[in-house]
Amino acid sequence: MEIELKLLLTPQAAQSLRTHPLLKKYGTGQPREEKLSGTYYDTSNCDLRRAGAGLRVRQVDGRWVQTMKAGGGVASGLHSRHEWESPVAGPTPDLAVLRELVDHGSSWNRLLRSREVEQGLLPVFTTSVTRTIWDLRLAEGTEIECVLDQGSLERGKDKETICEIELELKSGNVNQLYGLALELLESVPMQIGNASKAERGYALLAPVPARAVKAEALVLSRHMSIEKAFQLIVANCMAQMQANEDGVMHRHDPESLHQMRVGIRRLRSAFSLFAPVLQVPDDMREDLNWIATQLGTARDWDVLADSTLSRLADAPTDAAQVGMVQYAVQKRAQQLHGEAAAAATSPRYTRLVLRLSQWMRACGWREAPPRQASTRLHDSVIRFADDMLDQLDRKLRKRGRRLHKATPEARHRARIAAKKTRYAAEFFQSLYNRRKLRRYVNALSRLQDELGFLNDAAVADRLLQDLHGKDVHLASGVGFVRGYLSRSADTDASVIRKRWKKFKRLSTPW
């Protein structure tokens, strides 16, 4: 199993990396350089790709080597994959040799024996890379191969630049990969690289459209420990967060930004939920709050531009005045998407993801001072889930009293309580009766949606005032929009009473 941490950088940062003192400090010899050219093969239907495999033949200093990688996974830039490699006589794969290397009873071996692969392999894209390699031995004895690849991926006239480093674990502790990356990040700006060269090459065949990714359903066991449940929940939140990074960084996709923000909110909620049994480092909390704010500001303007102002579609008004407001709002939203992208590509965000991943893998909460350490981490999660859901439900029911007549601030507190309760119920949903819990969560979601509409109206009013303050020419349009949304909010408030009654009648499903 190959284990490596991939990080992306600019050519300017690559020059800084070459002279980085850490490479001299930990290096066991002089760096070496190789010229690599390779071709990736697949069928016309991309059978290998669809099976999660990649096959290439690479020329290294006049020698031909075939490599197949398959399975495994990637999380926070850490790639873990099965790898089979052998010399070949020329630039095309030798499947007979490869089949001898791959476990005979595996799906990968059956794939290599299939008629489609045996008879239909074609070159699909090529790579041309200059590789610089440093062999490192850290103070703890961990051995790491640091590889800097600079070059390109090509398919016909389409071309994409490669500039990345791979920190491959040769022996020792995988957490040291994160430690080394964090040290390098202090002076070399980098980003997490979750896509392999093969995935980036296949994107040249058929560009992948922006696709926002929602959280996957969690499956926990009633006999699972609190600690194990925490690890799975955090991994689930981080997977959602990172799955939407590309849409935020490179495509300015509003829905990707929304789902990345939801992943961060769920992660913060998980940290709050498990606070009675473990402590999260303050610096990670601060960085999570920072990136949440960066995305949240852009999201507020997205909501105003799309769902909130769309309510005016049938309103009798001066279309030109409202159109000016809509244009100004959309322009501001686009600007903030750029700022959100800059935040997501910044070293601070990269450091946050690396720190979180290292802390999770090393179970860093176990190193907390004795007064903060918990003796409950190995207890069964079911009792903990019961207790926490009870607390959250009671808090929500307390804040929901006379909700339809509450102040905006009180409604906001109730909305946050509803959100935390819903996230916790979804985290633990596999521990309870599915039908009963789904009814509870659905009622909670409908209540949260209505509270969200009112919160959107309050946020919209604040943003519109800000817009008016920066451009007095928008005064008439802003005034009309604020008045219309205020009247709509009064109507929405009447719906909340119905939603609250339906939720209040439900018994808890735990």
Q: What pLDDT score does 206 carry?
A: 81
- The residue from 173, 205, 237 where one domain ends is 205
Tell me the three state secondary structure of residue 37: strand
Which of the residues in the chain have pLDDT under 70? 313-319, 369-374, 404, 488-493
Q: What pLDDT score does 43 carry?
A: 97
Q: Are residues 245 and 164 in the same domain?
A: no
For residue 265, what are the domain limits?
226-396+406-505
Asked if residue 401 belongs to a domain, the reply is no
Q: Are residues 153 and 271 in the same domain?
A: no
**352-393 pLDDT, tens per residue?**
999 999 999 999 999 876 555 567 899 999 999 999 999 999
Q: Are residues 373 and 489 in the same domain?
A: yes
Asked if residue 219 belongs to a domain, the reply is no
Q: What pLDDT score does 316 carry?
A: 62
Q: Are residues 200 and 294 in the same domain?
A: no
Closest to 412 measured CA to CA, from 372, 376, 453, 446: 453
- The residue from 205, 237, 270 where one domain ends is 205
Q: Are residues 235 and 144 in the same domain?
A: no
Asked if residue 410 belongs to a domain, the reply is yes
- The number of folded domains in the chain is 2
Q: What pLDDT score does 313 carry?
A: 65
Q: What pLDDT score does 374 carry?
A: 65
Asked if residue 185 belongs to a domain, the reply is yes
Asked if residue 441 belongs to a domain, the reply is yes
Q: Are residues 384 and 238 in the same domain?
A: yes
Q: Are residues 166 and 290 in the same domain?
A: no
Q: What pLDDT score does 73 carry?
A: 85
Q: What pLDDT score does 492 carry?
A: 62
Q: Are residues 126 and 240 in the same domain?
A: no
Q: Are residues 179 and 109 in the same domain?
A: yes
Using left for φ > 0, alpha for ψ between -120 and 50, and beta otherwise, residue 71 falls in left
Tell me the three state secondary structure of residue 56: strand
Q: Are residues 329 and 387 in the same domain?
A: yes
What CATH number does residue 355 fall under? 1.40.20.10
Instruction: Please state, in angstroms and rounded to a whole number, the distance separating the CA atoms of residues 247 and 262.
Output: 14
- The residue from 205, 235, 250 where one domain ends is 205
Q: What pLDDT score does 293 carry?
A: 97
Phi and psi at residue 8, in whole multiples of 5°? -100, 145
Phi and psi at residue 225, in whole multiples of 5°? -75, 160
Q: Are residues 438 and 291 in the same domain?
A: yes
Residue with tokens 């059978």: 47
Asked if residue 213 belongs to a domain, the reply is no
Q: Which secondary structure element, helix H or strand E, spans residue 165, and what is its range?
A: strand 158-171
Asked if residue 220 belongs to a domain, the reply is no
What CATH number does residue 200 fall under? 2.40.320.10
Q: Are residues 194 and 286 in the same domain?
A: no
**R_g (Cα) of the chain, nearest Å:** 27
